[in-house]
Every structure is written in structure tokens, then in C-alpha cells.
Structure 1
Amino acid sequence: MIKMKVPVPQAEAILSNIQGRRFEKGMENYWEPCPGNAQSICWLFCWCKAEESDNPYWHRLGIQSQQAFDAIFDKSFHWLDKRLSHEKAKEWRYEQSDIEQEFFSHIK
């Protein structure tokens, strides 16, 4: 299980420090301010994976997202990266149905 280690307002403040128009728009649309929301975790995880890009802009956003992930959640991005593929996270990040049980079972 991944839990938020900071209150929701603090998590949102951390995320609002990441400067990128697409990130900011995604935060408005896909960040659900509730502890342990699997889709939100997958959404932020996908932004963390941008660090692998050769493009300096995306690389920077990925690094900032990893730092935010580690500041917000009780498990690190690297911990989750060992358990969750980028493809699976992309599949789950916009899922409309309840995926918590499947997600948390998958990342044990």
C-alpha cells in the first residue's frame, strides 16, 4: 500500500511547484486529492518516467515529479518503479472504475 505522508493541501502545494503547462493541466484534470488514489499515483508515476527522456524539458519535469512523489508518498518512486511498468501505469492512470484493489495487489 502507498499512503500519503503529507496532508492533501501540502501535497497540492508540492505539485504546484512543478512548472509545465501540460503537467499543470493534468493536475487539474487527473490529480484526485484523496489519500492513496491509485489513478493519481499512476498519473504522477507516468510524469516521473519523463526523466528517461532525452529532451531536457521532459527530463527536468521527470526529475521534479520524482522529487514530488518522494515528498508526498510513504514509498519512493524507485520502490514503485521496481513493481509497476510504465505501460501498466499508463493503462490505469485514466481508468474510471475502482482499481485500488487490483493496483495495490499488483505492487505488493
Structure 2
Amino acid sequence: LCLSSGGGNSIVKAETITKFFGRNYFEDVIGEESLNHLKDDPLYYKVALKRLSWESKQVVSIGDSILTDIYPAKLVGINTIWVNRKSEVQNLEIDETPDHTAKDLISTIEYLK
């Protein structure tokens, strides 16, 4: 499991999650600051895959933003789950459509089995 975060402070976010659950779940933590690419750029995902030595088909991008979590991940062949907490309706182009949509983070588990 890898935490990928936009907006900086990815290490702090991972430490907060680890402290809350009392356990570290992450093999690695990556972010815009460590990859030198913004998360809405497909290069962010390409560089992350290379750094982690993972293939795109081994990865699922889970996020709440079509523009930064779904669309660029799909452009590099990563499966996606959009967390749509507000039941937003999106007018999406075919290549922006997430593979799955979940109402909250816990609900994403059913797509990871």
C-alpha cells in the first residue's frame, strides 16, 4: 500500500494515519514534493510507478477528484475508484469516467477484493 498525496505534506499525512490507527500500512509515501510533478499531470503517476517498480495494472488510484485522482491515472492505464461523498453529478468525457464510484472511503473495499 502506498499513500499518494497532492498538495504537499504527504509524509505528515501518512504519519497522522499511522498514529491514528497505531500501525503503519504504507510501503511507501509519495507526493508532489517527492516526484516533482503535480498530481493532475500524468507524469506524476508515471514517475510514481517507475519509482515503486509497479505496473499500472497492479495499481488502483482512489480519490475524490476527477481532475487529479482519476483522469491522469486513467491516462497511464491505472484503474480508478472515485470517492463521491457528495453524490456529485459529473459531465465526464469517456476517458475521465472512473472504473468504479464509491460513496465513501470504506465503500472502496468492495472493489479491491
TM-score exceeds 0.5: no
Which is richer in strand?
Answer: 2
| Larger helix fraction of residues | 1
TM-score normalised by the chain length of structure 2: 0.27
Provide TM-score, normalisation by structure 1. 0.28
Give the number of the structure whose alpha-carbon radius of gyration is greater: 2
Task: Specify which structure has the bigger relative contact order, considering alpha-carbon pairs within 8 angstroms and separated by 6 or more residues.
Answer: 1
